[in-house]
């Protein structure tokens, strides 16, 4: 069974241990079909994800959804109504870090697991094997993408989640750092956002990022342990701005800034993303570096204005 997912909190190794085939849903095409399904100020990523699903951009039998934001919950409702042949597995995922919240999540995951396999000993055995395999692949992938320019890195990581393949270093050109180094900060980053990179790289070199579709997806390694410890890792260890408290995410950014000696940050978020909108001032206060906020809804209306702001940020 092919099961689609997009959130970084999806336990990929567990899906494989259940003999499912995980498919990372990172849209490459833009469709304008969502006005009858979503309100105007809904998340552009989720609206376009739905459009790609209804246009059958991926071959999936089901989708694994986590209730991490209001948009994701709304997506589940729409999918059940509009694509009835798509199996939707919705998991309650608390935004708060505490043991009571983890207990709720753990019970949710046990119910999901038992839909496919009731022998937890067998799942534990398979899970250890899958964790070892994917952890090693991610380590190998980091060696390949570590010194590439940002777009090459994003493309290779996207292809890795779709195919599992890692290209040879012999065919890749290393990044040459000549410009001011920046951290590019945000959540989802897909080929629909890639046009912004050519503008940024006229002025800066992107040496680090925090996107869950790029670096964050390969920066963390689940333990080769039992099911409960594994799920606790996915529940608590991966940094995300949506969690409460979200100090893991802030500290993750701080480590990147120190490691790459970054002096400026560009926060690239999608329009109507309240999670990043509410955090902008806190991020500036915590990181204590100049931050440029730019937004997109996948349209090209504000392209010239955006480049003007990037150029002004470079001169500042």
Domain boundaries, the chain: 175-315
Give the whole-angstrom CA distance, residue 256 versus residue 219. 11
* Nearest CA-CA partner of 106 in 131, 98, 247, 22: 98
Q: What would the pLDDT profile of 209-264 be if each residue is shown by its tens digit? A: 999 999 999 999 999 999 999 999 999 999 999 888 899 999 999 999 999 999 99
Q: Is the pLDDT of residue 173 over 80?
A: no
What is the C-alpha separation between 310 and 174, in angstroms, rounded? 25
| Overall pTM > 0.85 | yes
CATH 3.40.50.11900 given to domain 175-315: yes
Element of type H or E holding 291: strand 291-296
Give Cα 226 distance to the centre of its chain.
25
- Please tell me whether the peptide bond between 245 and the residue prior to it is cis, using omega within 30 degrees of 0: yes
Tens-place pLDDT, residues 39-68: 888 888 998 999 999 999 999 999 999 988
39 contact partners, CB below 8 Å, separation of at least 6: none
* Residue range 279-291: mean pLDDT, rounded: 89
d(CA 5, CA 26): 9
Q: Out of 30-44, 99-113, 130-144, which region has the weakest mean confidence (pLDDT)? A: 30-44
**Contacts from 197-200 at CB under 8 Å and sequence distance 24+?**
197/150, 197/151, 199/303, 199/306, 199/307, 199/310, 200/266, 200/310
Interatomic CA distance for residues 220 and 233, integer angstroms:
10
First-last CA distance in the chain: 52
Q: Where are the beta strands (DSSP E) in 144-188?
A: 180-185
Partners of 62 in beta bridges: 3, 87
């Amino acid at each position: 069974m092919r099961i689609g997912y997009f959130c970084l909190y999806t336990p990929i190794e567990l899906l494989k241990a259940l003999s499912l085939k995980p498919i990372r849903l990172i849209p490459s095409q833009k469709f304008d079909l969502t006005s009858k399904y979503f309100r105007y100020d809904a998340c552009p990523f989720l609206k376009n994800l739905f459009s790609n699903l209804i246009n059958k951009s991926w071959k999936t039998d089901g989708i694994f959804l986590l209730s991490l934001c209001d948009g994701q919950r709304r997506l589940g409702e729409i999918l059940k109504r509009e694509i009835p042949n798509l199996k939707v597995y919705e998991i309650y995922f608390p935004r708060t870090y505490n043991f009571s919240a983890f207990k709720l999540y753990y019970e949710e995951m046990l119910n999901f697991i038992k839909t496919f396999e009731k022998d937890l000993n067998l799942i534990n055995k398979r899970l250890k094997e899958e964790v070892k395999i994917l952890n090693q692949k991610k380590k190998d992938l980091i060696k390949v993408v570590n010194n590439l320019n940002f777009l090459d890195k994003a493309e290779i990581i996207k292809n890795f989640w779709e195919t599992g393949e890692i290209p040879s270093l012999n065919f890749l050109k290393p990044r040459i750092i000549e410009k001011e180094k920046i951290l590019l900060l945000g959540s989802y980053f897909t080929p629909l956002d890639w046009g912004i990179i050519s503008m940024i790289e006229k002025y800066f070199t992107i040496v680090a990022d925090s996107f869950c579709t790029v670096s964050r997806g390969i920066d963390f390694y689940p333990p080769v342990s039992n099911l409960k410890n594994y799920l606790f890792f996915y529940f608590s260890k991966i940094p995300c701005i949506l969690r409460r408290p979200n100090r893991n995410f802030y500290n993750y950014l701080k480590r990147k800034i120190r490691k790459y000696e970054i002096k400026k940050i560009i926060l690239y978020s999608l329009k109507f993303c309240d999670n990043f909108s509410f955090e902008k001032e806190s991020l500036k206060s915590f990181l204590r570096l100049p931050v440029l906020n730019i937004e997109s809804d996948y349209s090209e209306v504000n392209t010239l204005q955006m480049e003007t702001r990037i150029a002004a940020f470079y001169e500042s």
